[in-house]
Chain A
């Protein structure tokens, strides 16, 4: 089975801190994604990557950046955390092709105080 592992289940940070959310997948998938999930808003795409060192903006990239130095690892960076970035962050991976099944991690619940 594909495993997508997110480094932290819960994270509490202070406003203005630089925050790193890490995601690792073990199935050699080319595609990786970061979504945030908020009650009543569903899943919104922040960034995605179709290859190492490649990144594309999703629907809500403002305030975020990403890094993909190795195929299996995709990091989400909050340059200066703000309270409106308090959310559940979900990482996902898939095989090449936009219609492929997404495999999600269990999520990181980030609270910015």
Chain B
């Protein structure tokens, strides 16, 4: 049973545009929400993370928005670049990390 639901499955954005990936969870005991980025042939790597006492966290062009009451959080990539093309996974922390199914992002030149 998927504890973290992620959408969309794939996303195509033009260079300079905003990429938005959404995730939802059910378990209110989750207390840490990271995003991982994976390039082809590599393992996932931590991109940015947020705790539920904060509604937004920004690191460079990457922002997590967190809505505790709706049990939803999202990743925004501003000024998307071709180098951002990768698979993105949201996750939520229970006894271990529970990952979403992933979003394949393609940023076109």
Chain A interface residues (CB < 8 Å from chain B): 4, 33, 35, 40-45, 48, 56, 58-59, 90, 92, 98-99, 101-102, 104-107
Which of B12-20, B66-74, B89-97 is the contact stretch? Answer: B89-97
* B42 interface hit (Cβ, 8 Å): yes
Residue in contact with A105 in the complex, picked from B31, B43, B100, CB distance below 8 Å = B43
CB distance from A70 to the nearest CB of B (A): 21
Query: With A98-B32, A104-B44, A107-B43 in contact, do A42 and B6 touch (Cβ < 8 Å)?
Result: yes
Bin chain B's interface residue count: 20 to 34
Closest Cβ of chain B to A107, distance in Å, is 6
Q: Which of B35-88 contact A (CB under 8 A)?
A: 36, 41-46, 49
Complex Cα distance, B89 from A43, in Å, reads 9
Interface residues, chain B, with chain A CB atoms under 8 Å away: 2, 6, 9, 31-32, 34, 36, 41-46, 49, 89, 93-102
Closest to A4 in B: B43
B2 partner residues in chain A, CB cutoff 8 A: 42
Chain B residues contacting A101 (CB-CB under 8 Å) are: 34, 46, 49
Q: Could you say which residues of chain B place their CB within 8 Å of the CB of A106?
A: 41-43
Those 4 A-B pairs whose CB atoms lie nearest each other, nearest first: A104-B43, A42-B101, A99-B32, A43-B99
**Cα of A101 to Cα of B49 in the assembled complex, Å:** 9
B101 & A41 in contact (Cβ 8 Å cutoff): yes
* B46-A58 in contact (CB<8A): no
